[in-house]
């Protein structure tokens, strides 16, 4: 079973999407990501988000009924993006290709949407109350489905017998680290910011380390 997460929780229902609507929603979500990442849910106001989005506050309430709806939409959007890269995983896939593709995709999300990743991390650390409805039985079934594919690869001798659940956690944590802890990485390494090349190099290293730990030979 695939658990679908709504892309824009809290948006007004029943209104047809348009190019202008989609553009405005994307602008609002991006501004909200920045504010929620900086100040958390309680410290962020709809007025500040509207100012950063360059839109009247009334427009925010047109697209998102309240701050909680907008906050959940930010969380939903990043979860949907992360999970979409694993939705089509099957036992017939080559584990080397599938894991390589997944790690690269997750690192690209960390590069392009670090603020959304940080919002998600802060929500989980604070108890994940707003994620309760998402991490339900359907999501657990989706998660177990990914683990079952890994186990099928192991049973078929395609990769070493590692714990599938812990492997998924490792994939999540290692790739999201470069978004959530970018400040620490930069200060330790003497960088001012992580560049696209930095992220690609980090991704290459994660691919080597994780795939070799699974008894696979990276193609890079």
The answer to whether the CB of 23 falls within 8 A of the CB of 97 is no
Q: How confident is the model at residue 5 (pLDDT cuts 50, 70, 90)?
A: very low
Q: Which residue has the tokens 């696979």?
A: 216
Residue 158 confidence (pLDDT) = 97
Q: What is the pLDDT of residues 142-195, one digit of tens each?
A: 999 999 999 999 999 999 999 999 999 999 999 999 999 999 999 999 999 999
Q: How confident is the model at residue 17 (pLDDT cuts 50, 70, 90)?
A: low
In this prediction, residues 49-72 reach a mean pLDDT of: 92
Q: CA 78: distance to chain centroid?
A: 4
DSSP one-letter code for 77: H
Mean residue pLDDT of the chain comes to 91
In this prediction, residues 122-130 reach a mean pLDDT of: 93
Q: Is the pLDDT of residue 125 over 90?
A: yes
In this prediction, residues 26-39 reach a mean pLDDT of: 94
Q: How far apart are the C-alpha atoms of 171 and 177, rounded to whole Å?
A: 10
Q: Is the pLDDT of residue 115 over 70?
A: yes
Q: How far apart are the C-alpha atoms of 182 and 98, rounded to whole Å?
A: 26
Crossing angle for the helix pair 46-53 and 19-39, nearest 10 degrees?
Answer: 120
In this prediction, residues 101-118 reach a mean pLDDT of: 95
Q: Is the pLDDT of residue 16 over 70?
A: no
Q: How confident is the model at residue 59 (pLDDT cuts 50, 70, 90)?
A: confident
Q: How far apart are the C-alpha atoms of 157 and 138, rounded to whole Å?
A: 29
Residue 132 confidence (pLDDT) = 87
Residue 9 confidence (pLDDT) = 44
The 3-state DSSP class for residue 11 equals: strand
Q: Which distant-in-sequence residues (6+ apart) come within 8 Å of 111 by Cβ? A: 178, 179, 194, 196, 199
CATH number of 19-74: 1.10.10.60
Q: What is the pLDDT of residues 75-103, one digit of tens each?
A: 999 999 999 999 999 999 999 999 999 99
DSSP one-letter code for 210: H
Residue 21 confidence (pLDDT) = 85
For domain 85-213, the CATH superfamily is: Tetracycline Repressor, domain 2 (1.10.357.10)
Residue ranges covered by each domain of the chain: 19-74, 85-213
Residue 4 confidence (pLDDT) = 35
Q: pLDDT exceeding 70 applies to what percent of the chain? A: 92
How many other C-beta atoms lie within 10 A of the C-beta of residue 115?
19
Q: Which helix (H) or strand (E) holds 178?
A: helix 164-180
Q: How far apart are the C-alpha atoms of 204 and 23, rounded to whole Å?
A: 33
């Amino acid at each position: 079973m695939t658990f679908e997460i709504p892309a824009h929780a809290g948006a007004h229902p029943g209104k047809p999407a348009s190019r202008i609507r989609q553009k405005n929603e994307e602008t609002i979500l991006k501004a909200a990501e920045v504010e929620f990442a900086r100040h958390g849910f309680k410290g962020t106001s709809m007025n500040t988000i509207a100012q950063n989005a360059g839109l009247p506050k009334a427009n925010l309430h047109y697209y998102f009924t309240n701050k909680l709806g907008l906050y959940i939409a930010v969380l939903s959007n990043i979860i949907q993006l992360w999970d979409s890269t694993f939705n089509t995983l099957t036992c017939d896939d080559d584990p080397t290709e599938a894991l390589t593709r997944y790690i690269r995709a997750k690192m690209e999300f960390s590069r392009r949407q670090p603020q959304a990743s940080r919002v998600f991390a802060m929500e989980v650390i604070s108890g994940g109350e707003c994620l309760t409805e998402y991490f339900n039985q359907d999501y657990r079934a989706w998660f177990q489905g990914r683990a079952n594919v890994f186990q099928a690869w192991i049973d078929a001798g395609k990769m070493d017998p590692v714990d599938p659940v812990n492997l998924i956690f490792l994939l999540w944590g290692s790739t999201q680290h470069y978004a959530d802890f970018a400040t620490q990485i930069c200060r330790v390494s003497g960088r001012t910011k992580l560049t696209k090349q930095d992220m690609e190099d980090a991704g290459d290293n994660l691919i080597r380390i994780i795939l070799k730990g699974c008894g696979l030979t990276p193609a890079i």
